Chains A and B, each alone.
Chain A
Amino acid sequence: MTEALGYIINGFLIGGVYALVGLAIVVIYKSSGVFNFATGDFVMWGGFVTFSLLSIFQLPPWIAYPLALVLMGVIGIIINRFIISPMTGGMTGGGSLFAIVLMTIALAYLLRALQLAIWGPVTQVFPPLLPKGVIHLGEIDIAEEYLLYFIIAMIAIGIFSYFFQKTKVGLGMRATSEDTQLARATGIKVKLMFAATWVSALVLSWVAGVLLGSMNNLNPYLYTIGAKGFPVVLLGGMESIVGCIVGGVTIGVAENLGAGYLNQFTGGGIQEVIPFVVMVIILIFKPSGIFGQKKIERV
């Protein structure tokens, strides 16, 4: 029993980071109707950019982290300006589905290849963000930094949802996602809102990248986290921030339990497919997810 509880708690904590990745997908889908396949690569870039500033340029952390945040924002603006906007024509849901899917995949491959060219195919040691330690809770061991990472992830999600729900830019982004034409008519700068969308997605990915990097170092396969973002958002529902957290935590727990109990039968590696099995089941039985909206289609 305590074993199971241990798996559940650790899965719960890692789920916080999955929720961040999921949120980076949701914010783009909500605002611009683009399902982003490059999120994992944004996460990887976030980790590696921060690593470069900290370890290669030897900047102190209080300069390096804000600078990395700004750099990620700039990357977001470039991607939106030169790759995404020409495709969607500056409209929510613009452009053909096939073209947009392939475009974000091509973007993912470009980022992945550039990562390989710049940082090479080796694992880089990320300077630890927080001290490591273990909390003993009865018989359950919890890594101290996992708890802190979960808290950081939740704080990041909290700041983002405040920004998205209350501030003027956030309201503009939501208005743009409801109806681009109407938003434009009421004087919202739609182009700016799309840029803000991509910047916020990249910033969220950056937080996830830094957390994952300091958890288990930076390897060039960090982008595979992006694939785990899909089950998270589909479980929670594509339109919901709360859904992201629930989805992330559920996937984290399912993965950890699977790794703990099923691997002895399958010879390892089942945690890589469990999120997808869960996802297929959700897609068949409840395609809109737990907190998603049902769509009604008209001819």
Chain B
Amino acid sequence: MNLDFITPVFIIGILTASIRLATPILLAALGEVFTERAGILNLGLEGTMLMGALAGFLGAYWTQNLWIGALFSIVVGILFAMLMGFMSVTAKVNQVVAGVGITILGGGLSTLLFRLAFGLRTVPPQITIFQNLPIPLLSQIPVLGPIFFNHNILVYLSLVLVPVMGLILYRTRFGLAVRAVGENPDAADSRGINVDRTRYLALAIGGALAGLGGGYLAIGNLGLFWTQMTAGRGFIAIAVVVFSRWDPSRSMLGALLFGFAGALQLTLQTLKAPIPSELLLMLPYIITILVLVVISRRAEFPAAYCVPYIRGQDK
């Protein structure tokens, strides 16, 4: 096979695209780290992201303001997470099935609302997305400049959130409370931490970021909405969280890995590589399974993972 196409421009292109494609997964994973640290597995992430994508699109389309679109994504993401909160924290039902239900609901509702709003059109409605903001000076650095410093604002935001979320999780009272209710809710409760409220808050953070992650697809990447456009990214984000062993900075590594898989797949397709496109499209999903396999054996799940908290109940 002729490998001449592997030029510096080609490599820079793939790495730039990796960061762009990692963004929605990273945002969702950063939030889910909080949710899972608090002891809740939100498998409704996929549906939440889809609703976030729709809300972002509608907000931006109706108001012609991308920031309002982003705000819509966040608000709807939080609402969907509150639904998961009601199911898991208040009604204390099985979190796995509740998450699956929320994913089905989000997929159906986002499609239904989009169709009710726009009907069937030959030309789909479109919006202009967030434009790239090259960072002065930094974007001039050869190689690193275009890879890291020539993206749109949401990409920068997701990267900035990595240390911020780390600080909140490890250095604030709230972060301590989140970790406490996920590891030992009884002890947290006896120390005066409100277990249910902390879990709802952790879910809200997860929902806000998942919503924004979905919104990014519509208003920061594609400028369109379509049915099931998240294509499993919610589930991939959950795999990234396990991969990261519930740590914000390691979840960036995980998200970048998937971004890279996606970018590689796209580039090979445009290059007309002699591999069928369907097989390339499988790549991110195969990698997810492989990553999960390698990591899960050693992973130490939060002790109260998936366990509803009922005060005074023996386990």
Question: Do the two chains belong together in a single complex?
Answer: no
